[in-house]
Amino acid sequence: MSERVPLCKPGFGKEELKRIGEVLESGWLAHGPRVKEFEEKFAGYIGAKYAVSLNSCASALQAAIMAKSLKGEIILPSFTFPASANAIVNAGCVPVFADIEKDTMNISPEDIMKKINHNTVGIMPVHFAGLSCKMDKIMEIATNHDLTVIEDSAEAIGSTYQSKKTGSFDIGCFSFYPTKNITTGEGGMITTNDEKIAENARTIRGHGVKKGAFEREKLDKPWIRVSVMPGYNFRMNEISAVLGLTQLKKLDRFNEKRRENAKYLSKGLSRYKQITVPSEPEDAYHVYQMYVIQVSESVDRDNFVIFLRNNNVEASVHFEPPVHLHPYYMNEYKCREGDLPITENVAKRVVTLPMFPSMTKKQMDKIIVTICKALEKCKQ
């Protein structure tokens, strides 16, 4: 049996193991100095004044909405993981789903405009698979209608639009899940230039207490903990933070390798008329957190994915069904099939192929050859 090509693979080395050992030896495992250092360095990388670490991007999205005290409707794509919409609901707002563009698979600025009304308070663009949304148009819409933009940058760490990093346009939210461009195991981050939002987010993540244990150590009475609101335990731990610090130094190199791998796959797959490879507009820098193709209607997409998986290529689908067709959102918000025609069509045609920095030419050739066989076997 040939080697299985995994869907993704974190890029860990000896340095991560060494730094984790240092944390364990220090005895300070939660909300300590390494968390603060990771926040400062991540903010610098993104180009934001402040960064607030959390235990996940889902927590970051919810905390960002709450930190801005938003109440009303927030427009987002349905072509995303449920966490995006769940965060809106959990923060006490109403999700309003907009359609996407077929080529970029990102939210359509034109459809955003159609969904705005007097109840709209925000827009949550989700940068799909490592490609930035059209942030110039989205920010223009937000400015003209006095809306907050919360970028779901879970899949786009290091991606840029018109040379500006995603997560730096208004409020950014990031994920460090194992499938992402860098990982802390589990983890998230908020980036912002607004000191008040950063302060509120820190309070929300730590049970409503404004100062964490590391900061309180400098006070005369460090044991005093006063809650100013009913917050959550959304905090990042020191082990995750030190992983993030180590991974952050590798991020640009990882992203360049992803881009090289994507170029190789696209060159090999472009010969097949049944396949549309990912696009990269001139003003964007794609970091390929996922490598997502679209297959034509002449291909049985589900059997295509199953064939790849049965032949040692770990393919998957992101995302089907789209969120507006999940039972909760259909029942609670009266969403129906046909509401978002482009989203629904793309969801039936997408295939996520393996993508990670250490992928070898042999593995990529296997993917291309197996896809050739799959196209022959999975006609409809």
Q: Tell me how far CA of residue 152 lies from CA of 9, 49, 301, in angstroms.
A: 22, 18, 28
Report the pLDDT value the prediction gives residue 220, as an integer from 0 to 100: 57
Q: Architecture of domain 14-250 in CATH?
A: 3-Layer(aba) Sandwich (3.40)
φ, ψ at 124 (rounded to 5°): -120, 85
Cis bond before residue 321 (omega within 30° of 0): yes
- pLDDT given for residue 148 in this prediction: 98
46, two tokens: 């993104």
Alpha carbons 366 and 261: distance in angstroms, whole number: 13
Q: What is the pLDDT of residue 374?
A: 97
The pLDDT value recorded for residue 2 is: 76
Q: Is 9 exposed, middle or buried (0-12, 13-18, 19+ CB in 10 A)?
A: middle
**Domain spans, the chain:** 14-250, 252-377
Instruction: Tell me the average confidence (pLDDT) per consecutive run of 10 residues in the chain, 380 residues long.
Output: 90 94 92 94 98 98 98 98 98 98 98 98 98 98 98 98 98 98 97 97 89 57 70 95 98 98 98 97 97 97 98 98 98 97 98 98 98 94
CA angle, 34 then 36 then 40, to 5°: 115
Question: Can you give the pLDDT at residue 290?
Answer: 98
Question: Tokens at residue 284, please?
Answer: 């964007």
Look-up: residue for tokens 């991974």? 247
Q: What is the pLDDT of residue 224?
A: 62
Please give the pLDDT value at position 380: 83
From CA 37, how far away is CA 243, in angstroms rounded?
Answer: 12
* Three-state SS sequence of the chain: CCCCECCCCCCCCHHHHHHHHHHHHHCCCECCHHHHHHHHHHHHHHCCCEEEEECCHHHHHHHHHHHCCCCCEEEEECCCCHHHHHHHHHCCCEEEEECECCCCCCECHHHHHHHCCCCEEEECCECHHHCCCCHHHHHHHHHHCCCEEEEECCCCCCCEECCEECCCCCEEEEECCCCCCCCCCCCEEEEECCHHHHHHHHHHHECCECCCHHHHCCCCCCCCCCECCCCCECCCEHHHHHHHHHHHCCHHHHHHHHHHHHHHHHHHHCCCCCEECCCCCCCEECCCCCEEEEECCCECHHHHHHHHHHCCECCECCCCCCHHHCHHHHHHHCCCCCCCHHHHHHHCCEEEECCCCCCCHHHHHHHHHHHHHHHHHCEC
Burial (0-12, 13-18, 19+ Cβ within 10 Å), 225: middle
**CA dist., res. 142 & res. 376, Å (int):** 47
The superfamily CATH assigns to domain 252-377 is Aspartate Aminotransferase, domain 1 (3.90.1150.10)
What is the model's pLDDT at position 208? 82
pTM: 0.95
* pLDDT at residue number 207: 86
Q: Cα(109)–Cα(123) distance, rounded to whole angstroms?
A: 10
